[in-house]
Structure 1
Amino acid sequence: MMESKDEDYWNISANKSFNFDEDDVAVLDVPCFNRRSLFGEDTVSEVNFSNVQSELLLNFIISDENLAAILEDQSRNVVVIPKGVTLEEEVKLLRKKVQETSFAPSVGPIIARMVLGKPCSLEIFRSMYDKETLLDEAISSGNGNAILKVVLFLEKTLKKKLFYRLLQTRQEAVNHYINYMATRLKVTECTDLLVFLGRHHEASLLQFSIFVGNIPNIEFKRQRLKKIYNDYFSQPGANTFYAQLVANYLNLLDFQQSQQLTNDQSVLEILFYICSRYKWGDSSVQSYENPFKLAEAHQVSQSQLEWVALNERAKRQAWLDFEHIFEKKAWLNIKQKSFNMHIPIDKTILRLFSLHAPDPVLISFLNKVEDPARRLALARNVKSKKGIIDALVGLKDRTELENYQNTLAAGTEERFYAENALKTFNNKWKSDAIKLIK
C-alpha cells in the first residue's frame, strides 16, 4: 500500500520536477513578471523569509552599463545552429564556440571597443600574461578611459602586490589611476601606491593638497596637516622647500585662528584683510599683521602685493596711503624716497579711474608715464582735464593746447590751468627765440 502511494506521488504531473528519460523534455511554465525583477513572483524563500512583500530590483545590484555588457556576452555565447547542417558541421560550430569562450580573445578589438565607448566585459582575461597584454594595449591606444577601465579591472582581480608591480613600469597608467583615486579622495590608496613606487615626496604633497582643498574647517584641517608635517616633512631627508611651504601654511592657519576667521582663506584674501587693518607707514610691526611680512613669508610677488594693496586702499578711499605702497626709501639717503612700481602703470591708472579716484591721484600716476603721447591717450581715457593739458605741454603742441582750452568752460579751474600753461608755453617760446637771436 505504501509503495502504491509513493508511485502515485511521483507519477502525478503536478509533483514531477525531473524526468530521467532522455526522450522526454521537461517544459517549465515560467510566469510573466517585470524584467527588472530578480526573483519574479516568488514570495517564500528557502530560508523562510515569508514577509518579503516587494521584489528586489536588478538595478540595485548591477549598473545598467555592466548589465548590458553581461547580456551582450551571453548573447554571444548562444550557439545558433542553422537548419539542415550535418552532424560534422554542427560539431565544428560547437568546437569553435568553446574555443572562443575558453580562451582570451585578441586584446586589439577589445581596446578598440573601449575607445569607441562600447560596453565590453574583461572577465575572460584571467592569466597574468593576458592582463599585462591588455594593459599595454590600452596604454598604446593613448585613450585615458580605456587605460583607466583596464587599471580598475586589474585592481579588482589582482592581489595588491601584483597589481602594484604591474603598474611599476607603466607611468601613464599610474598617473590615470592616481588622478582617479585622488578625485574620489581615496588618500590611503594613493599614498600606498606612491610609497611602493618610491615617490615619497609626491605621496606627502598629494595628502597635503587633498586636505588643503577639501576640508573647510580650519581646526580639523590644521590637525590633519600637522600630522602630515610630522610624518613626512619633518623627517630626515625631506625636501626643505616643501617642508617650508607646509610650515608657512600651518602658520597661516594659526594666524587665521588668532583673527577668529571662521572660513579658510587664500594668502591673497588674507593679505587683503591685513591691508584693511594695517597702520600704513608703521614698519615696526614684524608679524603677519604687516602685509609686507606676510608677502615675504608666503612668496607673494611685489606686483601681487601692490595690486591687492592698491585695490583695498582705493575701495576705502585711503589715497594718502599710496605713498607707503609705491614710494621706497633710497639706500644712500633714508630721507629721500623714490617711486617704485611693479605693476603696469597703464593698468593701474585705468583701475584707479574705475574705483573713482580723484583727479589729483590720477595726475600723480599720469606724471609717472614718460612718453607724452602715451600719457595724453591715458589722460583722455580717464577724462583727466589737467592730465590732458600737462601731456599737451609735454608734446609742445601749442595749437592743440589752444584748441583744447577753448573747449573748457570760462571761469573753471581747468580753464585757468590751461591759460597758465599757455602763458608758460609762450614765455618759454620767447625765451628760446631770444637765445636764438643772441
Structure 2
Amino acid sequence: MAFSPIGDDADDEKVTDDYWNTSSRTGRTKASNFFDDFSPENDGRGLFGGDKSKALSFKETMKAAGLGLDEDEEDQDTIDWDGKKTSVKFTANSKPSRPTNLPASARGTVGVAPKRVPQHSASGTVSARNQAGSMGNGSEQPRSNNYPSPAFDRGSIDQRSTHSTNSSSASIEEAIKRDNKPTLAEISKLQAEVQALRRKLKSVERSRWASLPVADTITRIITGETYSLEPYRSLQDKLSLLNAAVGYHDGNAILTVVMFMRRTLSKTVFFDEIRKRPIAANQYIAFLRTQHGKSENIASEMGQLGRREDAALWRYKQATENTIPHGQLMNLKEVHSLWFDKSSTLSTEGEHIKEHISLLNRQLQIEAIDDKAQREGRPPFKDYPRKTNVYFKSVITTLFYCCYYHFGEPEVSVSSPLGIRQHHKLTEKQYLFTAMLSRIMLRRWQDLDTLLTSKNWRGKATMKCAVKFEQVVEILVQQNAPHDAIDRYLKLIEDTESRIALAMKLERHSVVVDALIQVRDRQRLLKYQSKVPGGTPEARRVEDVMRNSTFKWKN
C-alpha cells in the first residue's frame, strides 16, 4: 500500500520533491541548495566561484553528508526498523532521496519550523516499515522523535558515527599540536625581547670599559655594590685607586685594589709602589700571613716589600711548627744562618734563636741519656718515673726537670742545673725558685737548707737568700710541707710584725707566742691566750711567762 501524505505534510512533501527533482538551477539562488553547485550537471563552477578541479566531487560531497556511497556503486544493504534487509542502488541517472539530517540552510528552509515528511526509499517507494504499518492499521503510525529517520540505513549511521568520532579525535590532536606551537604574535614578541636583551648586553659590554670616578668605585667596594676595576688600565689610574682606598682607611678596599695591582702590574713596579705606602704594605702582609702557601714564597714577598724583619720572624715561626725534634733543629739552624745571623737589625733576635738552638740540642742529649736510664731502672727514675719527655719545653721547665732528676751534678754536665743557669743567663731568683720547688716536692729539706744558706765576707754561713722567707713559707704551705718546716722558716722572717701576722694567719701558735714574748707585748699575749688550745706546749709557755714576775713587759 502506498503512503499518502495528509494535510500540511503533503504540501510540504510536494514542495520538497519539486525542489529536489528540479534539474535546472533556474529559480534558485546559489546559497539556497548546497548540493546543486556540486552536482554532475553543474557547469564546472563551484559554490565559491572556483574551478571544478578545486571543488568537491559529487560522490565526495555525498560521503561528507553521510550517505555512504561506494566507489563501485554497488548495492548496499539497509536494515529497516522492522528487521528486514533492503538494498539501495544508485545509478548515474537516478537521483538519491533528499537527506533529512542536513542543516536548514542546505534545504532552503531557513527560519521555517521543520515538519515531519514521509521518507521514500531510493527507488521512490515508501519504506517497508511504513508499508507494514499501513497494511496493519490502515493509517500512518507516528514515529517518535527519539529515533533517526528511516531514510538512512544502519550502516550509514555507523559510518557517520565512525567518521564523526575520527573527526573529533583528529580535531583534538590538531588542537593540542596547535597549542604547542607558538603563534605569530608570540614569536614576534619573543624576537623583540631577544633584540632588547642583545642591545642591553652590548650596552653592558660597552659600559664595562667606561671608568667611574675613583671615589665612586671605592665607595662601591666599601658598601658592597657592583663595581669593576677593569676600566682603570693605566698605572696612574691604579695608583689613584690605591691612594683613595688608603685615604678611606678601609682594609677590604685597600686589599682589593692591592690584589688588582698585583695581578695587572709587573712585580718590580708592584713592590716599588706598595713599599712606598706602609699602610697598604701592612694590609698585604697581613693577607699573606693568612695564606697556606709555601713559606719561602711568602717570606720572599715580604723581603721584596722591605719587611725583612717580618720575613725572618715568619720563617722562624714556620720552623718551630715542625714537630720532629731533629727536623726542627735543622730548620732553626737554617733560618738563623739565612735571616738572623747577617742582619744588623735582628742581632738581638739572632741571639735568642741561638739560645733556642742550644736548648733544643741540650734537650736532645738529655732525653737520650734519661730514656736509657729509665729503661734500665736506674735511680732516680726507678722511684720517680718520668711522665713525659723534655722535648720543646721552655728553659724554666727544662731547669725544673734537671733540678728534679739531676740536682747536684757538676756544671760541666749536660743535664746540670747550674750549667743551664749559666748558659742561658738565668737570674738567681729564677734559679732559686725553680730549685726550691723541686726540692720541696721531693721533701729534700737538707737540699732546701743548702739553697737558702749563704756565706758572708767572713765565710760565716747564714740563712739568707735572694728571695724573701715569706715566699718560701708560701711555697711550703702550697706543697703541704710539715709544720716543723713551716715553723722553721717562719722564724727566719726578719720583720717581727710580718712574722706575727703570717703566723696568726697560718695558726702557728708557737711562732706567735714566741714573737709576742720577744716584743714584750703583754696585752696582746693575754688576748691571744684565748685562742691557744689548753694543755698544749704553747699554752703552758704563756702561763709560765705570765707568772714570772722578773720578766719586764712594755705594757
Give your verdict on TM over 0.5. Answer: yes
TM-superposed CA distance for 1:222, in Å, is: 0.8
TM-superposed CA distance for 1:109, in Å, is: 5.1
Match of 1:276 in 2: 404
Q: Is the 8 A contact 1:138 1:146 kept in 2?
A: yes
Deviates more, 1:241-250 or 1:321-330: 321-330
Matches of residues 7-156 of structure 1 in structure 2 within 5 Å? 25=191, 101-108=208-215, 110-111=217-218, 118=224, 121=227, 123-124=229-230, 125-156=232-263
SS at match of 1:133: helix
The 2-side partners of 1:319 and 1:149 are apart by 66
The 2-side partners of 1:427 and 1:145 are apart by 88
Match of 1:164 in 2: 271
Matches of residues 109-258 of structure 1 in structure 2 within 5 Å? 110-111=217-218, 118=224, 121=227, 123-124=229-230, 125-184=232-291, 186-212=294-320, 214-235=321-342, 239-258=346-365
SS at match of 1:328: strand
Structure 1 residues 23 and 171 mapped into 2: Cα distance closer, same or farther (>3 Å)? same
Structure 1 residues 98 and 238 mapped into 2: Cα distance closer, same or farther (>3 Å)? closer
Structure 1 residues 190 and 112 mapped into 2: Cα distance closer, same or farther (>3 Å)? same
TM-superposed CA distance for 1:352, in Å, is: 2.9
Match of 2:521 in 1: 397
Structure 1 residues 160 and 211 mapped into 2: Cα distance closer, same or farther (>3 Å)? same
Match of 2:552 in 1: 429
Match of 1:333 in 2: 458
Q: Is the 8 A contact 1:379 1:385 kept in 2?
A: yes
TM-superposed CA distance for 1:225, in Å, is: 1.1
TM-superposed CA distance for 1:250, in Å, is: 1.1
Q: Is the 8 A contact 1:104 1:130 kept in 2?
A: no
The 2-side partners of 1:366 and 1:420 are apart by 23
The 1-side partners of 2:448 and 2:418 are apart by 14
TM-superposed CA distance for 1:209, in Å, is: 3.1
Structure 1 residues 393 and 234 mapped into 2: Cα distance closer, same or farther (>3 Å)? same
Q: Does 1:316 align with 2:442?
A: yes
Task: State the Cα deviation string for residues 92-147 of structure 1 (Å, max 9, x = none).
Answer: xx99x88864344344455556656x466563444433332333333334444544
Match of 1:359 in 2: 483
TM-superposed CA distance for 1:264, in Å, is: 1.8
Q: Is the 8 A contact 1:181 1:187 kept in 2?
A: no
The correspondence for 1:375, drawn from 490, 499, 502, is 499
Task: State the Cα deviation string for residues 199-245 of structure 1 (Å, max 9, x = none).
Answer: 54543333123322x22221111111122223344448685433332
Task: State the Cα deviation string for residues 27-67 of structure 1 (Å, max 9, x = none).
Answer: 89xxxxxxxxxxxxxxxxxxxxxxxxxxxxxxxxxxxxxxx
RMSD over equivalenced CA pairs, Å: 4.0
Q: Is the 8 A contact 1:182 1:210 kept in 2?
A: no
Match of 1:63 in 2: none
The 1-side partners of 2:547 and 2:273 are apart by 86
Match of 1:35 in 2: none
The 2-side partners of 1:423 and 1:148 are apart by 88
Q: Is the 8 A contact 2:520 2:552 kept in 1?
A: no
Match of 1:48 in 2: none
Q: Is the 8 A contact 1:194 1:202 kept in 2?
A: yes
- The answer for unaligned runs of 5 or more in structure 1 is 1-21, 29-77, 81-93, 434-438
Match of 1:407 in 2: 531
Structure 1 residues 184 and 286 mapped into 2: Cα distance closer, same or farther (>3 Å)? farther
The 2-side partners of 1:415 and 1:111 are apart by 85
Structure 1 residues 183 and 353 mapped into 2: Cα distance closer, same or farther (>3 Å)? farther
Structure 1 residues 368 and 219 mapped into 2: Cα distance closer, same or farther (>3 Å)? same
Match of 1:350 in 2: 474
Matched residue type, 1:412: T
Q: Is the 8 A contact 1:380 1:388 kept in 2?
A: yes
Q: Identify the structure with the greater helix proportion.
A: 1
The 1-side partners of 2:239 and 2:502 are apart by 65
Q: Is the 8 A contact 2:221 2:227 kept in 1?
A: no
The 2-side partners of 1:288 and 1:217 are apart by 21
Aligned residues with identical type, % of pairs: 23
SS at match of 1:429: coil
Structure 1 residues 204 and 274 mapped into 2: Cα distance closer, same or farther (>3 Å)? same
Structure 1 residues 189 and 98 mapped into 2: Cα distance closer, same or farther (>3 Å)? same
Matched residue type, 2:235: M
Task: State the Cα deviation string for residues 315-368 of structure 1 (Å, max 9, x = none).
Answer: 3333332234343343x23443451224x6555533432221223333344345
The 2-side partners of 1:422 and 1:127 are apart by 101
